[in-house]
Structure 1
Amino acid sequence: MIKILKLNILERYIFKEIMGAWLGTTLILLMIFLANILILILEDIMEGLLPLDALLPMFIAQIVRFSVTLLPLGLYLGVIIGLGRLYKDSEMAVMAACGWTPLQTLKISLIFATVIASVMFLFTLYISPIAAAVDLEMQNKMKRQSQIYQIESGKFNMANNNKAVMFTQKLSADKTHQENIFLFNDNKNITTIENAKTATIENIKKYDENYFIFKNGNIINKQNDRITITEFAEHGTKFGTEKTTEKTTLASIPTMDLFKSVNPRHIGELQWRISMPLATILLVALAVPLSYSNPRAGKFGRLMVALVTYIGYSNILIFSKRWIMDGTIPGYIGMWWTHLLALLVVYMLIKKQYGKAINTKKNKVEAGKK
């Protein structure tokens, strides 16, 4: 990458310093978040709420989804830590004596940020929705199968969202094949008792629902004072599931579909996806002046200020997204004002922090021309 960009020695040095700090910070953040996610997934598997083969797809999907949030934060902190070390070790002072200017530091930092932001655009617009769709599919599968995995042989089990009671004498390892089944269902004025020698649980793709397929049994229906008994060779009954919420499905909607929509919720989601890469560049622009510190102040002298700044910026973005979705602010205003505000803060910080150095450099250039 460095060869492609054709950087000089000092630019390569700063580039590598930022890259190393960014990779280290991002990996630490990912490990912290993903360790918690892995524990939650493993708990669901141990409790029988999730099949073992769902571990890898769900874990990869979570990595992609968390990366969209953690990449900007990792880069922001990486720039502050990397450049902060150069200030602490007085390397920036030596470089300044050789003619290096703060604007060159900003330039090389923004080049690196633009590369990462380009990858972020690919993630937020295309890869992340696919990962969200995979995660949603696994959640739906987990909801469909959660009651299946809770079934135990030799015990009375609640079924159909606690609306029925079932007893099975024998149960296969995957809990989809049963023997000697009893099912009691009291629905309003109708009481139903089903008995069968064998049963399987199958997912009917047409309806995306789980069904009990009973074989060789009978059904006893009682409605008021009337009782009917029906024998069957094969009979199916629905095994209840829950519906997913819209909040869960928003992240899985393809980006092109969001572009075509006029729904405020879709507009908010679309602007959020576009805002993440833009925020990455703006955060790095903020990080460069915030990374400056006196060598005596310590390596992380301004890290707390940087964290407060990040929290403020991210909260404004989150609230803006909510206001768009609620219809509080129109889509054409959207989240763009937050980026303009951040850009204004960047300009003020750079002018305050580096204004004197920039003017000195400009005066030297003008004097040289004369």
Structure 2
Amino acid sequence: MKIIDRYLLKEIALSFSATLLVLTLIIVGNTFVRLLADASTGELPSDLLGSLLWFGSLKQLIRLIPVALLIGMMLAFSRLYRDSEMAALRAAGVAPRHFYRAIFSFVLPLTLFLAGLVLLVSPWVEQQNLDLRRQINERPEAAGIPPGEFVTAGSSSGGYTALAENIDASNTVMERFFIRAQNGTQETAIWARSAVLFVDSANGERVLQIRDGYRYESDSAEPGMRITQFDEHGIRIPLRDVAQASNRGSIPSQTLWQQSDAGAQAEWQWRIAIIISAPLLALLAFPLSYSAPRQGRYGKVAVAILIYAVYANVLATVRGMVERGDFPIFPGLWWIHLVMLGFVFWLLRKYYGKPA
């Protein structure tokens, strides 16, 4: 490897690493604040914050590697233009192809690494997130039932009041459980030694499985009360709504590739788009970083971020259209990459003329 290649490779690697570190800190910080806010309102159990923070941050970070590459390369080349090193290199006969040789000696291994993350690690991370969310939905905190506190929801004519005197060490079994439900003139009260909250796999609804207790039913329009003793009793109650995440992102890539429906193909093309965007944005960074003498150093970086935002939003929009069947699977997302590639070649022709 020539000295100039090593020098350019070092500049690109350092700028990319610094940019990725900053984005990582931002992502982790934002994710932590969001999760902490949910935990403070009782929507998330505090003992799962660490796992949710890790998997949530990793999922977002994989998707931001391409933009970190773009910004890092823009900063590296902008510094070369600011210090007139780019002019000296071009005067010494260093053509754009020499820059791209150094660029892709770094970008190609990074793209292969990114492909492994997107195709193998990302579905696993998504599955872990789904498992955690499912575990949260099956815990009393997801129903808004903390231990030792009365919880009331609804109105006086149609609502419920619940109490779990204690929750066991596994955070799943509510001990000495009481619930009172009102529906118009009908009133039902249940006391049981234990209750377990779980998600019905058939319809996704949460169910309270109550064991060893008594059910008291009365109607203000009728005299008397009906008392029933039971060993096991399951009821559905109006618990706090929890958003259900789509599980398409957790499907292994090999399985996803073999499916032909629009949703699966949209997810598959989206994963490939993340991989393709890394070398494509690396191609874009070099001509886009071109700066005239005395031109601002960071102006082109802002332009690069704007171009990436448009590129990413068009990809996301078309992906949604393909999922809904409003856009054909082919060309799907592929044409967007071709448009971006054409834009790169136009910039190269504009600033550097015909390839040398």
| Aligned position for 2:93 | 99
Give the superposition deviation at 1:200: 4.2
C-alpha change, 1:187 and 1:203, in structure 2 (3 Å) is: same
| Aligned position for 1:365 | none
Give the superposition deviation at 1:17: 0.4
C-alpha change, 1:9 and 1:156, in structure 2 (3 Å) is: closer
Q: Does 1:114 align with 2:94?
A: no
Q: Is contact 1:285-1:346 (8 Å) kept? A: yes
Alpha-carbon separation, structure 2, partners of 1:307 and 1:253 = 31
Which range moved further: 329-338 or 319-328? 319-328
2:39 to 45, 48, 73: 45
1:119-134 maps to which residues of 2 (within 5 A)? 119-134=113-128
Give the superposition deviation at 1:98: 3.2
C-alpha change, 1:336 and 1:190, in structure 2 (3 Å) is: same
Q: How many residues align structurally? A: 344
The residue type equivalent to 2:297 in the other structure is K
1:217-366 maps to which residues of 2 (within 5 A)? 217-222=213-218, 225=222, 227-232=225-230, 234-238=231-235, 240=237, 245=244, 248-355=246-353, 358-359=355-356
The residue type equivalent to 1:250 in the other structure is R
The residue type equivalent to 2:48 in the other structure is A
1:22-33 maps to which residues of 2 (within 5 A)? 22-33=16-27
C-alpha change, 1:113 and 1:55, in structure 2 (3 Å) is: same
The residue type equivalent to 2:69 in the other structure is L
| Aligned position for 2:175 | 178
Alpha-carbon separation, structure 2, partners of 1:204 and 1:302 = 51
Q: Is contact 1:286-1:346 (8 Å) kept? A: yes
RMSD: 2.9
C-alpha change, 1:117 and 1:231, in structure 2 (3 Å) is: same
The residue type equivalent to 2:208 in the other structure is Y
Which range moved further: 78-87 or 187-196? 187-196
Alpha-carbon separation, structure 2, partners of 1:142 and 1:20 = 40
1:115-150, Cα deviation, whole Å (9 max, x unpaired): 222122112212111111111222222233234553
1:243-277, Cα deviation, whole Å (9 max, x unpaired): 754x6322222222322222212211110100111
C-alpha change, 1:150 and 1:204, in structure 2 (3 Å) is: closer
Q: Is contact 2:144-2:151 (8 Å) kept? A: no
Q: Is contact 1:264-1:325 (8 Å) kept? A: yes
The residue type equivalent to 2:276 in the other structure is L
TM-score (norm 2): 0.85
| Aligned position for 1:64 | 58
| Aligned position for 1:3 | none
The residue type equivalent to 2:178 in the other structure is F
Alpha-carbon separation, structure 1, partners of 2:42 and 2:320 = 36
| Aligned position for 1:86 | 80
2:146 to 146, 151, 154: 151
Alpha-carbon separation, structure 1, partners of 2:260 and 2:232 = 46
C-alpha change, 1:292 and 1:185, in structure 2 (3 Å) is: same
Q: Is contact 2:182-2:188 (8 Å) kept? A: yes
Q: Is contact 1:84-1:299 (8 Å) kept? A: yes
Alpha-carbon separation, structure 2, partners of 1:329 and 1:218 = 56
Greater fraction of residues in helix? 1
1:7-22 maps to which residues of 2 (within 5 A)? 7-22=1-16
Larger radius of gyration: 1
Which ranges of structure 1 fall in alignment gaps of 5 or more residues?
Answer: 1-6, 360-370
C-alpha change, 1:48 and 1:323, in structure 2 (3 Å) is: closer
Q: Secondary structure at the residue paired with 1:166?
A: strand
1:32-77, Cα deviation, whole Å (9 max, x unpaired): 1221111121233333332333222212211221123210100001
Give the superposition deviation at 1:341: 0.8
Alpha-carbon separation, structure 1, partners of 2:342 and 2:90 = 26
The residue type equivalent to 2:160 in the other structure is A
C-alpha change, 1:195 and 1:315, in structure 2 (3 Å) is: closer
The residue type equivalent to 2:196 in the other structure is I
Q: Does 1:213 align with 2:210?
A: yes
Q: Is contact 2:207-2:236 (8 Å) kept? A: yes
Alpha-carbon separation, structure 1, partners of 2:59 and 2:257 = 20
The residue type equivalent to 1:340 in the other structure is L
Q: Secondary structure at the residue paired with 1:329?
A: coil
1:192 to 169, 188, 193: 188
Alpha-carbon separation, structure 2, partners of 1:129 and 1:76 = 25
Give the superposition deviation at 1:88: 0.9
Calculate percent identity across the aligned residue pairs. 26
C-alpha change, 1:152 and 1:94, in structure 2 (3 Å) is: same
Q: Is contact 1:89-1:295 (8 Å) kept? A: no
